[in-house]
Amino acid sequence: MTQNENTSQSNLDESSHSGTRYWGHVEVIEEGETYRISRVEIKPRHSIKPQIHYHRNEHWVVVSGVAKVTCGHQEILLNRNESTYVPSATLHQVENPGHIPLIILEIQNGEYLGEDDTERPYELNLVKSTTE
């Protein structure tokens, strides 16, 4: 798959809540008006792109593997049965630095859970710099 096909595929995949991504898989377990609970599996040596949400907070609980979490300017390692909180309007990213799949339960909570509330600042900079 070419880089353009890979980018297009990941953009299509990330527009829905459940499904396969280039970095792993997401399955929505339960969803309500102001919350969503998902099982997130990240392949070894993969990561989710840095992103910001303005209308929701997230709680991540590590079920299996090790998570390298960047939240704002803080970077932490989380092991099985450890968790972290990601406040709204905070740049965040999760990586799987290990050799086994990382499985996280993600609880999103907020007044608006739409995917158009996800901003990926580094992608915006990449697109801008390649078109200049």
Dihedral over alpha carbons 44, 49, 54, 59 (to 10 degrees)? 10
Cα–Cα distance between 61 and 59 in angstroms, integer?
7
Q: Can you tell me the mean pLDDT for 105-115? A: 95
With cut-offs at 50, 70 and 90, classify the pLDDT of residue 120. Answer: confident
Classify domain 3-131 by CATH number: 2.60.120.10
pLDDT of residue 60: 98
Dihedral over alpha carbons 50, 52, 58, 59 (to 10 degrees)? 30
Q: In this structure, how many other beta carbons lie within 10 angstroms of the beta carbon of residue 14?
A: 19
pLDDT of residue 121: 84
Q: Is the pTM of this model over 0.85?
A: no
Q: Which two tokens stand for residue 69?
A: 């979490």
| Contact between 52 and 86 (Cβ < 8 Å) | no
Closest CA to 96 of 13, 40, 56: 40
Alpha carbon distances (Å) from 33 to 1, 6, 30, 113: 37, 32, 11, 8
pLDDT of residue 123: 58
Please provide the distance, in angstroms rounded to a whole number, between the alpha carbons at the two ends of the chain: 26
| Contact between 113 and 78 (Cβ < 8 Å) | no
pLDDT of residue 127: 43
Listed by start position, the domains of the chain span 3-131
pLDDT of residue 122: 73
pLDDT of residue 115: 85
Average pLDDT, the chain: 85
Cα–Cα distance between 79 and 76 in angstroms, integer?
10
